[in-house]
Structure 1
Amino acid sequence: MIKITKVKFLISVFLSCLIFGCVDPVEPEFAFEEGIIYVDALVSTSPGASFVSVYESRIEFRIYKNIFQEGATVFFRNPETNTLVNLIEDEGAYLPPTDFSAEVGETWELYITLADGREYHSLSERIAAPVAISAISADYVTDLYFSEAENNYIPGHSVKVDFDDPMDDTNFYYWRFRSYEHITDCDICYDGVLRNGVCETGTIARPPYYSYACSSECFRIRYSENVQIFSDEFVNGTSVNKLSVANVPLYTKENILVEIQQFSLSPSAHKYFKALKDILDNNGGFNAPPPAALIGNIFNPNDGEEYVLGRFTAAAAVVETVFIERGNIQESPLEDFIIGNYEEYGISPDPQTTTAPCEETRYRTGTAPQGWIE
């Protein structure tokens, strides 16, 4: 599975600058490095929030890509109890059991062995106590942010939280979100029909596509696409109100439930995510932090000279949800609506198929999330 993201693209640009000694603010000659490992990993107290993704940089046909590393052996380890938690590969990530959650005060480490035998370990991370969210709300904004993919400002909701920052500690915050939307169709076959879970082509004349309704209630899951962090440097011990922590684009006009995860970070984790955010916000400009800041706490135990980008973070989370009704929004959604076209209305070989199952994955579930309103 190939993942091409702005984050990894910029990381490679800056790593190339580190290797080739870019100093003056001149137009870069994009001399990318192949074979760079990038790890994005989190162990959390919130069930379903922990994950590990591992990529390797490649150049294929003059295009820079990050290739998800399939077939790896990945596990979390608690060095104090020697508890091992094995992770299973699932759609571009490695995930622990669905009921897994860490505890405040625990220490965790990450271990990765790639299919070719290369090994990567992390330093230990201890989980600090989280800070509670006291209120959550969402405001609709027609120009939520500028999207490079759309080359325009896009509409959506800004999700905001209130919380009381503790006075006795220096606190660093990090937010992620998951969103849930109803979907009607669970599969679509272009120039073919769905049989035994596979789109089969044939010689029978048929419409350009057939869609297959979900055989049971089903929700699409999306994840946050940017970095949201905050330090209490200037608000220590005060109440923080209406702080925007998530941008939720108007992909569809289906009602949506947004689950905000508020993490408490260690100082080193905050430093890493701040560097990553600065690079993104500066669009890779030469005023952004150097790539060395993105070399986190992961290393190759057999090769001390190898650079490994990314980070393993252990963090406690508090979770709050907000349900957003979107049926009356006037602006057009970002995703095109695909009109359902079912086999019973066309020509298709027997046995006719009209539905598809709602398969449980990282991006889809048949279980209504807590806080969903019918």
Structure 2
Amino acid sequence: MKQALICISILLLLSTCIERIDLSESLSEDSLLVVDGVITDANEPYTIKLSYTSPSLQTYEGKALSGAQVYITDEEGNRADLIEVDEGEYETLPEQFRGEAGKTYRLHILTPEGREYASLTETMPLASPIDSVYFELDSRPYETSIGTILDEWGLQYYLDTGSGMAKPAYYRWSWQETYEFTAPLTRPMQLNVPVCYQNGYAIRYLNIASTRELSKDQIRRRKINFVEINGRKLQRRYSLLVKQYALTERAYNFWENVQEQQENAGSVFAPPPSPIPGNVYNVNDDRELVLGFFQASSLTEKRVFIRRSEVPPSPDGSPGGFSECIEGEEYDTPDHCYDCSILTGVSTETPSFW
């Protein structure tokens, strides 16, 4: 899973650019460095991921860069060193460093081979609060295994946000869902019926927007997440946490280029026509191409809940899931139909925010 996520990160970071690059001058026998990291004003560890592409860019090996010296500085000369917590993953210590809106930051990297990299300075913009997160019953088409197109009903979540001021702003959103459910069946004399909790994340999800072409900073009905009715996510209680990052114009332009290539590519697994340069460079060799982006964003969050009794009726019936859980001597009923806690990625510990 870790290697898959690294590959996905690289796929997001490699894409088409408005100004094309002469790869014959950029590529050599060496792989290209990929930098993926963001710092915010939240009181939490910030992660910087370092990896390498294949030399030809025709495959995405995602080889981690381990043993590097990584640190962040601000305009006042303060320095925060990052610790390698996993191969190629470097984290700050929350008690020693926390981002602050309005301050300027720079990332520094020194590889074991002595190559020195730095980012351009990034000033953390102030994030607007999220006005509201809400849902509407809706349907979307999906293709079955036999090629038939059907409607899938669910809850489409939206958000409203913006400062309302007459100046442009730049946004990126992600989300995390948490849902509570139980197994649908019980065995004779079964006393323990565990309540289970599971999380879902925005994987391969790039949702950005700007208000630079609007008269004021105001965004309405921005689509965030779609939750299908006929799954187990809405069986008891569902929570959606929306994270809103305030971007600089430079960061927005970078992710906009990434998004354009994703939409134009025939497949997300197809090698890109050319990579997008980010804001990281080799201090001693400006001809070396470095991929990725060091992002400084203030963060606002909003969490919403919905109980099963609040889910509107739909043509797909009631929430519940577990369509495979059928009892009877003629059926081989899976064990998780009686005990949801044995499912992968499930916890029986109630979340602190629940």
Q: Structure 2: how far apart are the matches of 1:268 and 1:339?
A: 52
Question: Aligned match of 1:178 in 173, 176, 179?
Answer: 176
Residue in 1 aligned with 2:191?
A: none
Contact (CA 8 Å) 2:21, 2:274: kept in 1 or not?
yes
Contact (CA 8 Å) 1:129, 1:316: kept in 2 or not?
yes
Contact (CA 8 Å) 1:76, 1:108: kept in 2 or not?
yes
State the secondary structure of the residue aligned to 1:2: helix
Pairwise mapping of residues 1-374 of structure 1 onto structure 2 (< 5 A)?
2-3=3-4, 5=7, 8-9=10-11, 18-19=21-22, 35-48=31-44, 50-58=46-54, 64-90=60-86, 93-97=89-93, 101-139=98-136, 141-143=138-140, 157-181=155-179, 220=199, 222-237=201-216, 239-246=218-225, 253-254=232-233, 255-283=237-265, 291=274, 294-325=276-307, 328-329=318-319, 339-340=335-336, 368-370=351-353, 372=354
The worse-fitting range, judged by mean Cα deviation, of 306-315 and 119-128 is: 119-128
Q: How far did 1:107 drift? A: 1.4
Q: Structure 2: how far apart are the matches of 1:131 and 1:85?
A: 29
Contact (CA 8 Å) 2:82, 2:90: kept in 1 or not?
no
State the secondary structure of the residue aligned to 2:298: strand
Contact (CA 8 Å) 1:18, 1:290: kept in 2 or not?
no
Deviation string 1:27-47 (CA, Å, 9 cap, x unpaired) is xxxx99961221111111123
Q: Between the two proteins, what is the percent identity of the paired residues?
A: 21
Q: Structure 1: how far apart are the matches of 2:68 and 2:347?
A: 23
State the secondary structure of the residue aligned to 1:273: helix
Q: Structure 2: how far apart are the matches of 1:77 and 1:36?
A: 24
Q: Structure 2: how far apart are the matches of 1:108 and 1:216?
A: 44
Q: Structure 1: how far apart are the matches of 2:165 and 2:37?
A: 29
Q: Structure 2: how far apart are the matches of 1:70 and 1:284?
A: 33
Letter in 2 for 1:315: S
Q: When you count strand as a share of all residues, which structure comes out higher?
A: 1
Letter in 2 for 1:124: T
The worse-fitting range, judged by mean Cα deviation, of 231-240 and 138-147 is: 138-147
Contact (CA 8 Å) 2:178, 2:200: kept in 1 or not?
yes
State the secondary structure of the residue aligned to 2:82: strand
Q: Structure 2: how far apart are the matches of 1:179 and 1:41?
A: 22
Letter in 2 for 1:167: M
- RMSD over aligned CA atoms reads 4.7
Contact (CA 8 Å) 2:169, 2:247: kept in 1 or not?
yes
Q: How far did 1:272 drift? A: 0.6
Letter in 2 for 1:8: I
Contact (CA 8 Å) 2:211, 2:218: kept in 1 or not?
no
TM-score using structure 1 length: 0.64
Q: How far did 1:167 drift? A: 2.3
Q: Structure 2: how far apart are the matches of 1:157 and 1:249?
A: 6
Q: Structure 2: how far apart are the matches of 1:233 and 1:45?
A: 24
Letter in 1 for 2:263: D
Matched residues, number: 307
Residue in 2 aligned with 1:192?
A: none
Q: How far did 1:308 drift? A: 0.5
Letter in 2 for 1:107: T
Q: Structure 2: how far apart are the matches of 1:110 and 1:367?
A: 37
Letter in 2 for 1:2: Q
Q: Structure 2: how far apart are the matches of 1:321 and 1:273?
A: 25
Q: How far did 1:315 drift? A: 1.0
Q: Structure 1: how far apart are the matches of 2:121 and 2:171?
A: 20
Change (3 A) 1:69 1:217: farther
Change (3 A) 1:295 1:251: farther
Residue in 2 aligned with 1:193?
A: none
Contact (CA 8 Å) 1:88, 1:96: kept in 2 or not?
no
Q: Structure 1: how far apart are the matches of 2:94 and 2:136?
A: 31
Q: How far did 1:224 drift? A: 4.4
Q: Structure 2: how far apart are the matches of 1:306 and 1:241?
A: 41
Change (3 A) 1:87 1:7: closer
Q: Structure 2: how far apart are the matches of 1:121 and 1:90?
A: 21
Give ranges in structure 1 of 5+ residues lacking alignment. Answer: 22-30, 185-214, 343-353
Q: Structure 1: how far apart are the matches of 2:335 and 2:54?
A: 38
State the secondary structure of the residue aligned to 2:253: helix
Q: Structure 2: how far apart are the matches of 1:323 and 1:55?
A: 37
